Amino acid sequence: MTLGAITPEEWAVITLSLQVSLAAVAITLPFAFAIAWALARWRFPGKILLDALVHLPLVVPPVVTGWLLLLLLGPNGPIGGWLDRMFGISLLFRWTGAAVAAAIMAAPLMIRAMRLSIEAVDRRLEQAAQTLGAGRIRTLFTISLPLALPGVLTGLVLGFARSIGEFGATITFVSDIPGETRTLPIAIYAGLQQPDGEASVTRLAIFSIALCLGALLLSEWLTRRASPQRAGHVL
């Protein structure tokens, strides 16, 4: 078997996957950070429940998550119907729907990484900033966020890698439409169903592995880069 070059159809799959994953991570970032902050810093009733709900997509079969998205965001669903009536937006069978499915599946990993790094921020430094005249907003942007940044970036990278690999919820919610919802894993699965698809499957599989390996190495590097600074401050 010869490997051959990546075909235009395969490039379309790759760029669509990147587009879906970048959109998924961008949608999730502000919500994930807010939830991570609440879980790390606040005490409120139902916190344990929120923590469990946030982790749910990690353990529930992805097909179930996709089916729930179909119920909620489909044209007859409570949210999907509202979006359609108010804005004429439909997520079903669209790349935007694939991005939403990937966002839901990536959220637990992103929230986890951000929460850990927010918990590691030394709150006494925030107090010091306040005694120097910094209000809450300035303290957040000049002290808390920069110190939590490695974890936020790690969360972004992990969430991106998870979105690239998302299959079950996506195919259940938005199906397999070439050029619209046929992302890397779906294209690989479709290739396996075809008698002559093996070379294409191999190319796409190698590309996925390289992409995700790169993302994990990047996240590891970011984590390492952050630790000597913290260790240095203990004394």
Partner 1 sequence: MSFDISVRRRLGERSIGLDLQSGSGIVALFGPSGAGKTSILNMVAGLLQPDWGRIAVAGVRLFDSEARIDLPVARRRCGYIFQDDRLFPHMSVEANLLYGRKRAGSAPAIDFTAMVDLLGLGALLERRPATLSGGEAQRVAIGRALLSGPAFFLMDEPLASLDGARRDDILDRIAHMHALTAIPILYVSHDRDELLRLTREIVTIPYQGSSGSPTFASARLQ
Considering the complex, state which of residue 127 and residue 194 has its C-beta at the smaller distance from partner 1: 127
Could you identify the residue written with the tokens 């990047």? 218
Q: Does the protein bind partner 1 through residue 201 (CB under 8 A)?
A: no
Q: Contacting partner 1 (CB under 8 A), which of 68, 129, 153, 222?
A: 129
The residue count for binding partner 1 (CB under 8 A) is: 20
Q: Does the protein bind partner 1 through residue 125 (CB under 8 A)?
A: yes
Q: Contacting partner 1 (CB under 8 A), which of 8, 30, 45, 135?
A: 135
Q: Contacting partner 1 (CB under 8 A), which of 124, 193, 195, 196?
A: 124
Residues 140-179 that bind partner 1 (CB under 8 A): 142-143, 146-147
String of contacts with partner 1 for each residue 202-231, x by CB under 8 A: ---------------------------xx-
Q: How far is the CB of 18 from partner 1 (least distance, A)?
A: 31
Considering the complex, state which of residue 41 and residue 233 has its C-beta at the smaller distance from partner 1: 233
Binding residues for partner 1, rule: CB under 8 A, are 124-125, 127-135, 142-143, 146-147, 229-230, 232-233, 235
